[in-house]
Amino acid sequence: MTTPEPTRFTRFQQRYRDGDLPWDHDLPPPEIIAMAERLPSGRILDLGCGTARASVFLAARGWEADGVDFVPEAIALAEERVRTAGMAAQVRLHVGSVTDLSFLVGPYDLAIDVGCMHGFEGADLHAYAAEVVRLVRPAGCFLLFAHLRDPDQEGSTGIPDATIMNLFADTFAFETVEYGTTVVGDRQMDSAWYTLRRRG
């Protein structure tokens, strides 16, 4: 009898249970810190929030945040971080899929995604994009980090750059795209930070 291939959910759930979280630092990435310095505070949507490091950082600077993650163990750690930081009034956390955010009402001034969207394909990817479009206000921002792959690399980690462009070109202007590489364990992957502005 063969062991079934773990799903994306079970892989992440096990990592949170094991504490195998190389992405979990005290501060969010510099790109989020820089964005917070440029924008006035408002409402933020933290997509795939993990342990809510970005939400807590921004809440301390006057933002109101909704963080969403599909792993209950991640949200449990996030709730502890929020309590420790004294930010319970500014940060609301939700266990749920970012492909169906019907429980949230916009508009949001800023949506951020540090490595969530690049795990989706097909209908899930389009549902995710539709929620971002629905929830970000006109002239609002979407800050996205994604691992990239070539379009012909089916089954590999990441998302083609052209797919991101096609998903959002009709509703967002791409203000900046910064290409680079990201090292995860012993792997080096192409990646990019995208700053998008919602057309209104």
- Neighbour tally for 31: CB within 10 Å: 18
Residues 6 or more apart whose Cβ sits within 8 Å of residue 146: 113, 115, 117, 118, 158, 159, 164, 191, 192, 194
Q: Which of 33-42, 74-83, 135-144 has the highest mean pLDDT?
A: 135-144
The 10s digit of each residue's pLDDT in 144-159 is: 999 999 887 766 679 9
Q: Which of 3-17, 23-37, 114-128 has the highest mean pLDDT?
A: 114-128
φ/ψ of residue 118, rounded to 5 = -70, -5
Domains of the chain: 26-198 (3.40.50.150)
Range of weakest confidence among 14-18, 51-55, 101-105, 119-123: 14-18
